[in-house]
């Protein structure tokens, strides 16, 4: 059975752990380098990208994690996780893991009053429309040619894939639908 | 509306494992964000100063809240007085991310809390026990915090309230179906929410700790007791080195289960806020007793 880690610096960690177990994977929290060595894939959850980014840097996790990802370990970033993986962030000089060739815009829709739910089909992931929950969400402004957009909402890319890296601006872990977690576990 | 409530509960889920810090100006908001806070609470005076100054404590100046909102990229919260639904309307109009209907401010209604279902914006409310938490959720709160005693730097009340909440939950969980209505009556809580706790063994919303957290160890203590995250009010900007302490508390909430790391994190932070022992505060001056 595949063992999938969820980066547990801050954010909606338990929601991903529960989903992973529901689709038949072994799930564990990842907070240090040792735990990083014991997994087949990792989810970077939603939360505050600034908080998660600072904790990764302070505790020496930034390099080991980006190295793992560059060497091919499957990774899926949801919301804040997508921001952490991006090579570029709008209106911000520095980025975090800088592994995925996307330009993202933080809080792209506004404040909490602008958070919303919609349904859409997502290429490769599900034939049917799946629910998408956007919480103070980012979107992808631009992608490099090697990045494959998987879904768009109102003209903006909200899910994409580049080699072993998967990102979503929305939160499949907050819905009843399992197709995204199913899809990611199969990639691992 | 059901969808909106779900989204509001979802935002609280994103704050889990994080620290929400009281800030009174743009400079402090920057320090909080830089330290890794998951949200800031914009208010004119921290609870320790409200306690010292006395008088009526009200919603902060919308201009000041707006300035903080423009300064940081993380969610911004602000406080409305208990029952003051117009302060809440104003805060919603500013377009912040969360309203704290807070006992730290002077209550505007001695009987009723705000009908939070009438709003699009999410609310967090304080509670000392399960009944109080479920009443607030029944009114539409999408996040709960244990009250503790704000502005003291004394963690004892936060611990008491969390332990009370846990005991209450164990009792609801172990009760038979037949006993639930009796418990709902005793706790003064909506029956359907008592039923939820019975079936799931937890609150239907995220629960943070607040009121008296002053050190990384305090924050880790609350996390080990089972809260989802912490609010720190006076504890940071009333301390000797706010930058360092803020960062340390953030780190302690992530590594709350790792004493080796906690030891390192707690080193050399400078003086903590002086604080007040809870016994030295007259009963009628206790914030936690406000709210019903």
B120 touches chain A (CB under 8 A): yes
Asked if pLDDT for residue B54 goes beyond 90, the answer is no
Residue B71 to residue B65: CA distance in whole angstroms:
10
Would you name the residues of B annotated as active-site residues?
79
What's residue B184's pLDDT? 98
B117 touches chain A (CB under 8 A): no
Active-site residue, from A15, A16, A171, A181 = A171
Residue B25 to residue B42: CA distance in whole angstroms:
8
How many other CB atoms are there within 10 angstroms of residue B255's CB atom?
Answer: 22
Mean pLDDT within B228-245: 94
pLDDT in tens, A77-98: 999 999 999 999 999 999 999 9
Domain that holds residue A85: 3-187
User: SS3 for A51?
Assistant: helix
pLDDT in tens, A32-86: 999 999 999 999 999 999 999 999 999 999 999 999 999 999 999 999 999 999 9
pLDDT band of residue B282 (cuts 50, 70, 90) is: confident
Asked if pLDDT for residue B119 goes beyond 70, the answer is yes
Return the residue of A nearest to B75 by Cα: A111
User: SS3 for A131?
Assistant: strand
The number of angstroms, rounded, from the C-alpha of B204 to the middle of its chain's C-alpha atoms is: 16
CA distances from B247 to A74, B16, B134, B269 (A): 31, 16, 33, 10
Q: Which among B7, B10, B18 has the least Cβ separation from residue A48?
A: B18
What is the model's pTM?
Answer: 0.96
pLDDT in tens, B55-98: 899 999 999 999 999 999 999 999 999 999 999 999 999 999 99
pLDDT band of residue B281 (cuts 50, 70, 90) is: confident
Return the residue of A nearest to B38 by Cα: A48
Mean pLDDT within B193-213: 97
Q: Which residues of A touch B98 (CB under 8 A)?
A: 112
pLDDT band of residue B1 (cuts 50, 70, 90) is: low
What's residue B285's pLDDT? 86
Number of domains in chain A: 1
Is A179 annotated in a binding site? The answer is no
Q: Which residues of A touch B35 (CB under 8 A)?
A: 54
Is B60 annotated in a binding site? The answer is no
Instruction: Suggest the residue from A7, A11, A48, A89 to mutate for an interface test with chain B (most B CBs closer than 10 A).
Output: A48
Rounded to two decimals, the ipTM of the complex is 0.96
Mean pLDDT within A155-161: 97
Question: For residue A35, what is the domain's CATH number?
Answer: 3.40.50.880
What's residue A1's pLDDT? 83
pLDDT band of residue A108 (cuts 50, 70, 90) is: very high
What proportion of chain B, given as a percentage, has pLDDT over 90? 87
Q: Which among B3, B13, B15 has the least Cβ separation from residue A117?
A: B3
How many other CB atoms are there within 10 angstroms of residue B182's CB atom?
Answer: 11
Higher local confidence (pLDDT), B175 or B291: B175
Residue A6 to residue A127: CA distance in whole angstroms:
26
Active-site residue, from A15, A16, A79, A181 = A79
Number of DSSP helices (H) and strands (E) in chain A, helices first = 6, 12
What's residue B2's pLDDT? 82
Is B171 annotated in a binding site? The answer is no
CB contact (8 A) between residue B8 and residue A112: yes
Reference B204, options B147, B148, B130; nearest CA is B130
What's residue B274's pLDDT? 82
Q: Supply the DSSP symbol for B292.
A: -
Instruction: Suggest the residue from A115, A116, A137, A173 to mutate for an interface test with chain B (most B CBs closer than 10 A).
Output: A115
Q: Which among A12, A31, A117 has the least Cβ separation from residue B16?
A: A12
Asked if pLDDT for residue A131 goes beyond 80, the answer is yes
What's residue B185's pLDDT? 98
Reference B38, options B9, B76, B69; nearest CA is B76
Please provide the average confidence, as pLDDT, over all residues in chain B.
96
| Residue A188 annotated as catalytic | no
Domains of chain B listed by start with CATH number: 1-270 (3.20.20.70)
């Amino acid at each position: 059975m595949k063992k999938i880690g969820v980066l547990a610096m801050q954010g909606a960690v338990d929601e991903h752990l529960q989903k992973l177990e529901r689709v038949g994977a072994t799930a564990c929290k990842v907070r240090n380098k040792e735990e990083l060595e014991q997994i087949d894939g990792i989810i970077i959850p939603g939360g505050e990208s600034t908080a998660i980014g600072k904790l990764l840097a302070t505790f020496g996790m930034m390099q080991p994690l980006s190295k793992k990802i560059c060497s091919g370990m499957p990774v899926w970033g949801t919301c804040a996780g997508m921001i952490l993986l991006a090579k570029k962030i709008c209106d911000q000089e520095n980025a975090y893991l800088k592994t995925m060739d996307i330009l993202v815009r933080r809080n792209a829709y506004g404040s909490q009053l602008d958070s919303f739910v919609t349904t859409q089909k997502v290429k490769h992931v599900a034939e049917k429309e799946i629910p998408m929950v956007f919480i103070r969400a980012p979107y992808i402004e631009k992608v490099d040619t090697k990045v494959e957009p998987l879904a768009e909402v109102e003209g903006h890319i909200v899910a994409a894939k580049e080699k072993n890296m998967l990102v979503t601006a929305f939160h499949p872990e907050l819905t009843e639908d399992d197709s995204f977690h199913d899809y990611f576990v199969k990639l691992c | 509306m059901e969808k909106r409530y779900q989204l509001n509960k979802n935002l609280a889920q994103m704050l889990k494992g994080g620290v929400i810090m009281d800030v009174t100006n743009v400079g402090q908001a920057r320090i909080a964000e830089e330290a890794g806070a998951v949200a800031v609470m914009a208010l004119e005076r921290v609870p320790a100063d409200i306690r010292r100054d006395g008088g009526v404590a009200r919603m902060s100046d919308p201009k000041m809240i707006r300035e903080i909102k423009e300064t940081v990229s993380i969610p911004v919260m602000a406080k409305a007085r208990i029952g003051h639904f117009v302060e809440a309307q104003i805060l919603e109009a500013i377009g912040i991310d969360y309203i704290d209907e807070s006992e730290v401010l002077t209550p505007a209604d001695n009987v009723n809390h705000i009908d939070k279902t009438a709003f699009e914006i999410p609310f967090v409310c304080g509670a000392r026990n399960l009944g109080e938490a479920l009443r607030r959720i029944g009114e539409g709160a999408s996040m709960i915090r244990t009250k503790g005693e704000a502005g003291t730097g004394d963690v004892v009340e936060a611990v008491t309230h969390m332990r009370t909440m846990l005991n209450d939950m164990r009792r609801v969980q172990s009760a038979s179906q037949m006993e639930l209505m009796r418990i709902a009556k005793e706790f003064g809580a909506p029956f359907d929410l008592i039923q939820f706790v019975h079936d799931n063994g937890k609150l239907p919303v995220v629960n943070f700790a607040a009121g008296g957290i002053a050190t990384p160890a305090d924050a880790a203590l609350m996390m080990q007791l089972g809260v989802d995250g912490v609010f720190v009010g006076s504890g940071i900007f009333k301390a000797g080195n706010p930058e360092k302490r803020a960062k340390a508390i953030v780190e302690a909430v992530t590594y709350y289960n790792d004493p080796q790391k906690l030891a390192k994190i707690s080193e050399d932070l400078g003086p903590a806020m002086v604080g007040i022992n809870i016994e030295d505060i007259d009963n009628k001056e206790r914030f936690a007793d406000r709210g019903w």
